[in-house]
Amino acid sequence: MSRYTDLIVGSVFAVIALIYFGMSFNIQEAGVTQMGPAFVPRVIAGMTFLLSIILIANSVGALKHAEIQPAGAEDRANEEKPHYVPVVLTAVLLLAYVMLLEPMGFIASTIVYLFLQFNISAPKTRKGLKHQGYFLAGAVVATVAINTLFVTGFNVMLPQGIWE
Amino acid sequence: MSDLNHLNKSVLSLCVLAAVGVAGPGAALAKDYPAKPIELIVPAGAGGSTDLSARVFAKHAQKKFGKPVVIVNIKGAGGYTGSKTVYDSAPDGYKVLYTHAGIVTNNVTNTAPYSYDGFKVGPTVIEDPSLALFVGGQSGMKTLGDLIAKAKAEPGKLKTATEYGAFTYFMLLKLQKEQGIQLNLVDVGGDADKTVALLGGHVDVMPKVYLGTEDYIDAGDFTVLGVAQAKRAPNAPKVPTFKETGIDFEYHEYPFTIFFQKDTPQAVIDAWIKIAQEVAADPTYQKDVEKLGMVPVYKSPEEAAKNFAAMQAEFVELAKEKAEVAGQK
Amino acid sequence: MDIFLNALWDILQPASVMLMFLGVAVGIVFGSIPGLSAAMAIALFLPITFTMGPNAGMTLLVSLYIGAISGGLISAVLLNIPGTPSSIATCFDGAPMARQGEAGKALGVGIVFSFLGGLLAFTALIFIAPPLAKFTLRFSPIEYFAITVFALTMIASLASGSMVKGLLSGMIGLLLATVGVSPIDGARRFTLDIDNLTSGFDLLPYLIGLFAITEVLIAAEQFSADKHVEPLALKKIKGFGFTLAEFFAQKWNLLRSSLIGLFIGILPGIGGSTSSILAYIAAKKQSKYPEKFGTGIMDGVVASESANNATIGGALIPLLALGIPGDGVTAMMLGGFLIHGLTPGPLLFKTSAEFVYGIFAACLVANMIMLILEFFGLRIYIKLLKVPKYILLPIIVVMCVVGAFSVNNRMFDAESILLFGLIGYLMYKAKLPLAPAVLSFILCPLIETNLRRGLMLTEGSFLAFFAKPIALFFLVTAIVALIVPLVRTFRSHRAKAAGTTKTPVG
């Protein structure tokens, strides 16, 4: 995978640049200035495309090079393998949190989020019943403290949802 | 992501609708209004003239309401993001918009699909009638007549600071049309940027409210040509009207006005009318507003709506003519 | 001078010193928590100052500002998350130092050089504010365009590995910054018909997402591994953690970075995040060992922290001398003036000298208080590293969501931090550096706005930009800054290719 990273990155950027360039034709010109609102985006699209082509070319060159002298295999063994399960869980939990924040209200959604996130994040040795108690207490205390500070202290209208 | 949120909102608003349906139309709710803090949405960042005047008004209004009136700043897209929040809100009077001519200009420049009439117009509570024209102290121009003569001598040469699509932009379009002159309108940004542009000699003419210019006039950096009003502005009494200097040119006051979601019950609006009248009569409020360099007023919703309608008609016409001229080029 | 000493005496009264301690302490808290920023602290306290006298109100705002800007370094060093946009560049070397057990030293360096950067700028403010302010008047949109383009080309030198990837990262910032209504004519661009996108993405959610959420996702990779529980090793520190010799080795770095900070501060609209990144780049370029930047050397922290605190002094210059605010924070301070019936403008020095000198004195004293509070706080902040990350990070996420929400009081900004977190995580996986994407996001609207405004001033002629000496200087420097490293990489490519049998493409 890592050998092809730059090739993938370059290709993704090339595609983005093309889509973005295409979308720049949807911009309505107001006609009040000599240079319209689509000009700068098109320059950016052009630069992005050019850079992505350079990156693709470079990485193809490097791949050919690598075929002759295979290298880099040993440092991959040293790297600790990332675990993607907690990453995906964290991302999904975050998404659910911000989506439910408004309908559920800040207090309810934050307590649930914190409690679940503590559980995802904590190492296996720290997930016993005792720790669950700590997690719940921590979630409640942190949530109430933040809510009080912002809502009463600073008049920030955090969504109160079911608490309203 | 946003689609999901939208879905959530729709589900939620369905629930709200159902709840309202059970409780009967808003009238019952409106009777004990306000029952909780009111959010006064300011479609601009903290610290600007819109924000400060809203804060002064809210400070006095909440004393009379007996419930907090909380300023909520929602900036972005020239005020559209903020006005849209109230446009989409529940018609219960707990999200109220505090805005100005921007509600009209946003629509004329196609940023917002609705204008002042997308809302129920409330009272105008603060005004700034001091919009004046300024030129450099060394320019030799002393009156609007001098400026018109100079613009006629060399059409399209006088660089005039503006902010495209803003209140002052339409003032300049009107001036060009009525006096048959051609200025070189250059966008330099807001009030602070305009002041820098005129001070630095990057532009020749600047339209701006009087506030913050007094020192420059005294120091001889700026010459003020006059205000575009029928009578002198109370917040700039030293500045003559254009009419006094011999040119008949008038423009609108800058009206800070309360707006409500379109289906807001009349009882809520009546509550605000009462409060606005009481606040306007309060001498401490008047003093606070004067400190900001503005004028405390009370204009009824009908009167306010009439002013906004006049602006809307005039700006649409000016924008159309401008587009035609641009098309011919 | 008498007025100044009188003002200083007034400021040193117990009540106002207490107020300043409070302001600086609250500022540090706002600055150090990712998601909360200096601008937010001031926006939240602004209404409170309306009820105070003008001097007390301004003193509080200045204290908050100084506290918050320097407080940003704490989470930058300890968590690799900038606490406030101005401390982005502090992460670059501050976080690696912490990883090597030198968190105390990194904080100590940051605190002392924050203080010194501020001190230099406030001295400039007191003695040469009016002429410096006059200087800014020479900057029309054309000059702003040139200087922001110059700043943008600096991203080429920010990239630590491949320059092409550094520039591509910069493109991410540019692409995202163009979403929303266009400057000047307000045309909708890339909004996909989503109403919330009309006003585009805000800087604070962008930064929070890119740094804090990304950091959380990266940390999640190791959540199942138990080594995570081990807190970082800490070396014991004395005083501020560095020697006198180390201090004096930084004198030119301090001076250069403070001047950059001051200069950027004076120019309205660019801000502390840009100044600290530029100072970092300048320090790297001037260094005898540029390759060590980013590995955890104090030079990087010195550059970033002295520059961002000097920016405060710079930003106050046009405000006090001309009545012109340069950024969101000074705009709010201007509001504070107005509400107390003070008319800002060039004569403020004459008509309200006591008030102006009161602000000068407040800056100096608040800066001192910041040094004292953070010196004693230092030992407490480090304890933060003892809190397990699995507790700390989720709470920081909540603060980030609250912070993003309160920027504009809408859920959309809180939602957008997730998108940016995901982008940041993918960038990390693709080994794209984050810093260029930040700088380009900040600079893009400035460049476009000033380009289009400049063209209006020159009636459509871009060549006329080169007729202005300041613009010419920056544009030529920008072109050189882009071409030199390109040629250099090309040459080294050639040299490498010559050493092997195959010639690489490109």
**Beta carbons of C53 and C220 less than 8 angstroms apart:** no
Question: How far does the CA of residue C264 sit from the closest CA of chain B (Å)?
Answer: 16
Helix (H, G, I), strand (E, B), or coil: what is residue B254? Answer: strand
- C502, pLDDT greater than 90: no
CB contact under 8 A, C335 and B184: no
Placement of tokens 């804090």 in the chain = C212
Count, residues in chain C: 506
Closest CA to C471 of C140, C132, C131: C140
CB contact under 8 A, C185 and B165: yes
Name the token pair of C337: 């003036």
Say which residue, B59 or C239, is predicted with more confidence.
Answer: B59
* CA–CA gap between residue C104 and residue C81 (Å, rounded): 17
Q: What does R_g of chain C's alpha carbons equal in angstroms? A: 23
CB contact under 8 A, C347 and B215: yes
Chain B touching partners, 3 or more CB pairs below 8 A? A, C
Q: Confidence class of residue C257 from pLDDT cuts 50, 70 and 90? A: very high
For residue B92, give Cα distances in angstroms to B164, B269, B302: 35, 10, 21
Backbone angles phi, psi at C78, to 5 degrees: -80, -30
List, for residues C396-447, the tens digit of each pLDDT value.
Answer: 999 999 999 988 888 999 999 999 999 999 999 999 999 999 999 999 999 9
* CA–CA gap between residue C491 and residue C497 (Å, rounded): 10
| Cα end-to-end span (Å), chain A | 51
- C206, pLDDT greater than 50: yes
Placement of tokens 């003695």 in the chain = C127
Dihedral of CA atoms C398, C402, C407, C413 in degrees, nearest 10, equals: 60
ipTM of this complex: 0.92
| CA dihedral for C292, C294, C298, C300, sign (positive or negative) | positive
B161 bridge partner residues: B186
| Neighbouring C-beta atoms of residue B309, cutoff 10 Å | 15
Average pLDDT over residues C324-348: 83
Average pLDDT over residues C180-184: 91
CB contact under 8 A, A30 and B72: no
> For residue B6, what pLDDT is reported?
46
- C144, pLDDT greater than 50: yes
Placement of tokens 């959610």 in the chain = C205
Backbone angles phi, psi at B73, to 5 degrees: -85, 120
* CA–CA gap between residue C315 and residue C310 (Å, rounded): 9
A157 close contact with B: CB closer than 8 A: yes
Q: What does R_g of chain A's alpha carbons equal in angstroms? A: 25
Closest CA to C503 of A51, A2, A68: A68
Using CB atoms within 10 A of its CB, is residue C501 exposed (0-12), middle (13-18) or buried (19+)? exposed
> For residue C505, what pLDDT is reported?
38
For residue A138, give Cα distances in angstroms to A106, A116, C431: 16, 12, 35
* CA–CA gap between residue C5 and residue C26 (Å, rounded): 27
Backbone angles phi, psi at B207, to 5 degrees: -90, 130
Dihedral of CA atoms C348, C353, C358, C361 in degrees, nearest 10, equals: 100
Say which residue, A152 or C485, is predicted with more confidence.
Answer: A152
List, for residues B285-296, the tens digit of each pLDDT value.
Answer: 999 999 899 999
B214 close contact with C: CB closer than 8 A: yes
The 3-class secondary structure across B112-131, one letter per residue, is CCCCHHHCEEEEEEEEECCC
Average pLDDT over residues C319-338: 86
* CA–CA gap between residue B112 and residue B114 (Å, rounded): 5
List, for residues B89-123, the tens digit of each pLDDT value.
Answer: 999 999 999 999 999 999 999 899 999 999 999 99
> For residue C496, what pLDDT is reported?
63
Q: Confidence class of residue C240 from pLDDT cuts 50, 70 and 90? A: confident
Average pLDDT over residues C61-77: 94
- A65, pLDDT greater than 80: no
Backbone angles phi, psi at C320, to 5 degrees: -80, -35
B7 close contact with A: CB closer than 8 A: no
B299 bridge partner residues: B124
Q: Confidence class of residue A125 from pLDDT cuts 50, 70 and 90? A: confident
CB contact under 8 A, C408 and B214: no
Strand pairing of B132-136 and B95-99?
Answer: unpaired
* CA–CA gap between residue C430 and residue A3 (Å, rounded): 11
A154 close contact with C: CB closer than 8 A: yes
Percent of chain C with pLDDT over 90: 60
- Quote the pTM value: 0.91
Return the minimum-mean-pLDDT range out of A29-33, B197-201, C255-259, C435-439: A29-33
Supply the DSSP symbol for B137.
T
Domains of chain B: 32-129+253-317 (3.40.190.150), 132-252 (3.40.190.10)
CB nearest to B8's CB, from A28, A30, A99: A99
Q: Confidence class of residue A93 from pLDDT cuts 50, 70 and 90? A: very high
Q: Confidence class of residue C190 from pLDDT cuts 50, 70 and 90? A: very high
Backbone angles phi, psi at B235, to 5 degrees: -95, 5
List, for residues B228-250, the tens digit of each pLDDT value.
Answer: 999 999 999 999 999 999 999 99
* CA–CA gap between residue C111 and residue B38 (Å, rounded): 42
B287 close contact with A: CB closer than 8 A: no
**Residues whose CB is less than 8 angstroms from the CB of residue B311 and which lie 6 or more positions away in sequence, other chains included:** B101, B104, B252
Cα A136 → chain centroid: 27
| Cβ-based contacts of C391 with chain A (< 8 Å) | 118, 121, 138
Chain C touching partners, 3 or more CB pairs below 8 A? A, B
Helical pair A106-121 and C389-408, crossing angle rounded to 10 deg: 150
* CA–CA gap between residue C279 and residue C306 (Å, rounded): 9
For residue C235, give Cα distances in angstroms to C215, C223, C232, C432, C468: 24, 25, 10, 32, 53
Closest CA to C367 of C298, C306, C440, C300: C306
Q: What is the mean pLDDT of chain C?
A: 89
Question: How far does the CA of residue A155 sit from the closest CA of chain B (Å)?
Answer: 7
Backbone angles phi, psi at B72, to 5 degrees: -120, 110
Average pLDDT over residues B286-312: 95
Supply the DSSP symbol for C462.
S
> For residue C501, what pLDDT is reported?
43
Q: What does R_g of chain B's alpha carbons equal in angstroms? A: 21
> For residue C39, what pLDDT is reported?
87
Dihedral of CA atoms C29, C33, C39, C40 in degrees, nearest 10, equals: -90
| Neighbouring C-beta atoms of residue C205, cutoff 10 Å | 27
Query: What is the DSSP annotation of C315-341?
Result: HHHHHHHHS---SHHHHHHHHHHHHTT
Average pLDDT over residues B249-255: 96
- C506, pLDDT greater than 50: no
For residue A35, give Cα distances in angstroms to B68, B110, B157, B307, C144: 47, 19, 20, 35, 17
Return the minimum-mean-pLDDT range out of A48-62, C429-443, C486-500: C486-500
The 3-class secondary structure across A19-84, one letter per residue, is HHHHHHHHCCCCCCCCCCCCHHHHHHHHHHHHHHHHHHHHHHHHHHHHHHCCCCHHHHHHCCCCCH
B63 close contact with C: CB closer than 8 A: no
Say which residue, A101 or C490, is predicted with more confidence.
Answer: A101
**Beta carbons of C80 and C91 less than 8 angstroms apart:** yes
Q: Half-sphere exposure of C407 toward its Cβ, with a 13 Å CA cutoff?
A: 28
**Beta carbons of C263 and C314 less than 8 angstroms apart:** yes
> For residue B167, what pLDDT is reported?
96
Backbone angles phi, psi at C299, to 5 degrees: -55, -40
> For residue B160, what pLDDT is reported?
97
> Helices H, strands E: what count in chain A?
7, 0
| Cβ-based contacts of C402 with chain A (< 8 Å) | 106, 146, 150, 156, 158
CB contact under 8 A, B12 and A102: yes
Please write down the long-range contacts of B2-10, taking CB distance under 8 Å and 24 or more positions apart.
Answer: B2/C194, B2/C196, B2/C197, B2/C412, B2/C415, B4/A99, B5/A99, B5/A102, B5/C411, B5/C412, B5/C415, B8/A99, B8/A100, B8/A102, B8/A103, B9/A102
* CA–CA gap between residue C177 and residue B2 (Å, rounded): 18
* CA–CA gap between residue C351 and residue B73 (Å, rounded): 32
Strand pairing of B120-128 and B254-260?
Answer: antiparallel
Q: Which of residues 78-117 of B touch C (CB under 8 A)?
A: 78, 80-81, 84-85, 109-111
Average pLDDT over residues C35-51: 87
Burial track A4-31 (b if 16+ CB lie within 10 A, e otherwise): eebbebbbebbebbeebbebbeebeebe
List, for residues C150-168, the tens digit of each pLDDT value.
Answer: 999 888 777 666 788 999 9
Average pLDDT over residues C117-127: 93
Using CB atoms within 10 A of its CB, is residue C90 exposed (0-12), middle (13-18) or buried (19+)? buried
> For residue B32, what pLDDT is reported?
84
Burial track C349-360 (b if 16+ CB lie within 10 A, e otherwise): beebeebbbbbb
- B274, pLDDT greater than 50: yes
Q: Half-sphere exposure of C182 toward its Cβ, with a 13 Å CA cutoff?
A: 29
